[in-house]
Amino acid sequence: MEQETTAIAEDIILEGSISVKAALQAGRREIFEILTDGRKSDRNRNYILNLARHKQIKITETTQETISSLAGGCSHGGIVARVGEREYQDEEAVLSAPVPFLALLEGVEDPYNFGGALRSLYAAGVTGVFVPQRNWCSAAGLVTKASAGASEFVDIVAVSQWDEVLTKAKERGIRILCATRKDAKSVYESDLTGPILLVFGGEMRGISSKIMKYSDGNLFLPYGNDFRNALSANSAAAVFSFEAFRQRSREK
């Protein structure tokens, strides 16, 4: 292993074995270097380092203090990676899946909420996620960590023009279903099988009118108490997508 190096300011830092392993396995971003605490050794770390060697990625043994300074905290478990930007997927490929089970996240600004939503959606079997085109690089480490690595695996399409994408979706027979209470039907009484696109907005502003105009139906989640506020995008994505997964599983 090579001796200590320093990260370039522009590099993205992924911290912890789950994030680093996901980036290695998914192969959707360039990995420049993996830095590990030379005093630590465990099965998971050994797997990561062996995979990195197979991919001919630079490995550097360094100190816990150096790793903490790069990670900006102490929850890294003694391993971080310097990486480049994540590759995004092509909208045509995502829309052309055999039976699209898609999601759209609009106005979700908090990286923990965003990452948690991606984690739930990927676990429920979503085949692609549409997000607004923006620079997530500064928060990539937080998103990857919050998603437990799911953000590296799920197909993500960064969109600049919603009209174009949503028009294409409807032309392909994909139903656009928006998570909002106005003129809505309970998610548990709705058909979530077949080609669908579930739309989730941020808690503050919800789903914009430019997306709502394409809705084929609105869905709401019944509450157990008289609670007037929306769930986080993470929580809503989990409930709605797993109800879709339940219904879709019965059809197989």
What backbone torsions phi and psi does residue 110 show, to the nearest 5 degrees?
A: -75, 125
pLDDT at 10: 57
Same domain, 137 and 226: yes
Q: Is residue 3 part of a domain?
A: no
Packing angle between helix 17-26 and helix 43-54, nearest 10 degrees? 30
Check if the beta carbon of residue 240 is closer than 8 Å to that of residue 179: yes
DSSP state of 85: P
The partner residues of 198 in beta bridges, in order of sequence, read 103, 177
Q: List, for residues 113-130, the tens digit of each pLDDT value.
A: 999 999 999 999 999 999
Q: Is residue 6 part of a domain?
A: no
pLDDT at 64: 87
Same domain, 79 and 97: no
Same domain, 142 and 194: yes
Q: Is residue 97 part of a domain?
A: yes
Same domain, 54 and 108: no
Q: Is residue 5 part of a domain?
A: no
What backbone torsions phi and psi does residue 132 show, to the nearest 5 degrees?
A: -65, 145
Domain boundary among 83, 111, 137: 83
Q: What is the pTM of this model?
A: 0.90
The domain tally of the chain equals 2
Residues of the chain with pLDDT under 50: 1-9
Full residue range of the structural domain in which residue 242 is found:
91-250
Q: List, for residues 17-52, the tens digit of each pLDDT value.
A: 999 999 999 999 999 999 998 887 788 899 999 999
The partner residues of 68 in beta bridges, in order of sequence, read none
